[in-house]
Amino acid sequence: MIVPETADKIKSMEIRGAGRIARAVAEALRDHALSLQVSALDVFRQEMEQTAALLLATRPTAVSLPNAVHMVMAGLNHTKTIEEAKAGVVRCADEFIRSSQHAVEQIGQFGASHIRDGDTILTHCNSEVALGCIIEAHRQGKKIEVFATEVRPRNQGLITIRTLNDAGIKTNFIVDSAVRSFINDVDLVIVGADAVTVNGAVVNKIGTAQVAHSAREARVNLMVAAETYKFAPRTILGEFIRIEERAGNEVLPDEIARTLPYVTVRNPAFDVTPSEYIDLIVTEKGAIPPQMAYVIIRDYLGWGIDEFHLAFGSAGLNGE
C-alpha cells in the first residue's frame, strides 16, 4: 500500500485499532523504502524522514504509531549505502510486524488465564488483543458470556459483536450509557489501550474511563490488554499524550449542525483511565500491575532517561 493511501485510511479510521495501525505504518515505510529510486544516501534518509512525518501526523493519540515508526526507522542507523539503508528498514519493519502478530497471540494466552470458567465479561470498543483474550478463553472450553458496548459515535462495537458472534460466543450488545445498569452482572472488564503512560494510566477509546469508574464502584476487576509498543516512552519526563478530537459531523450531521448556530459539537476520541482503576495490564511479556509500566518502557522498549534525552533532547519536555 502506498504511503498517502495508508495515511488517508488511518485518518479516516478505515484502518483502525492501535496494533493494526502500527503494522500498516511499518508496511508503508518498508514498501516506500523499496520503491525509492535515489542515488544519494542523504536524499534517501530525507525522503524516509518526510514519509515518517506524514504518517506520524495521522493519529496523534495512538502511541503504537510513533513507536512503530521509531523501531522501523532504526534500520537507517549506522548505514553507509542506500542498499544497507533499504535492507535495514525492511529488516526492522518485518521484525516489527512479526513481533506484533506474535504479541497478539501471546496476550491472548496470558489474558485467557485470568478468565474463569463461567465469567461474564464486559468489553468496550474493538480491541484486537482484548478480544484475543476472550476468544482464547472460549477456545479453551470456558463457558463465558460477553457484554459489548456500542461505542459511539463510530460504532466500533459492531465489529466487536461480529467477531464474537463468529467465534460462537454468547454476547449482549448494549449502548455505552447502559454500562452502569449491567455492571453488577459482570465478573471482569477487559479493554485494550491506545497508550499506556509511565505511571500506568491508560489512554483508550472515549468512555473507557467511565466503564472503569463503574467497575471500581461495583468491585469488578478491570484488565487492560496491551502490546509493549503501546507504552509511551515520552511520558517518562512528564509529556502528556495528546487526546485527539475528531470532527463534529461524526456525532451530528452537518445539515443539522448548521441549524444550531449556538451549539458546538465536542468529539474527543479517547480518554484517560487512572492507574488506580486498573487491576492488571497483560502484555506479551506477561501480566503486570499498572505501577510497573516504567519497567516495560525501560526493559522492552529500551527507553530510559538517557535514551530519551539522546533521541529527543529537551523537546520532550515541552508536551504536545
The domains located in the chain, with CATH, are 3-105 (1.20.120.420), 108-317 (3.40.50.10470)
Tens-place pLDDT, residues 100-122 = 999 999 999 999 999 999 999 99
Distances (CA, A) of 64 to 96, 158, 174, 205: 11, 23, 29, 14
* pLDDT interval class at 24 (50, 70, 90): very high
Residue 287 has pLDDT above 70, yes or no: yes
CB 227 within 8 A of CB 19: yes
Q: What is the 3-state secondary structure (H, E, C) of 20-38?
A: HHHHHHHHHHHHHHHHCCC
C-alpha cell belonging to residue 94? 518485518
Q: What is the separation, in whole angstroms, between the first and last Cα of the chain?
A: 29
Residues 226 and 231: their CA atoms lie apart, in Å, by 8
* Phi-psi group of 281: left, alpha or beta (phi > 0 → left; psi -120 to 50 → alpha; rest → beta): beta
* pLDDT interval class at 60 (50, 70, 90): confident
Residue 61 has a pLDDT of 82
* pTM of structure: 0.86
Q: Which residues are catalytic?
A: 125, 194
Residue 302 has a pLDDT of 67
Residue 43 has pLDDT above 70, yes or no: yes
Residue 314 has pLDDT above 60, yes or no: no
Pairing mode of beta strands 286-288, 280-283 = antiparallel
| Integer Rg of the chain from CA | 20
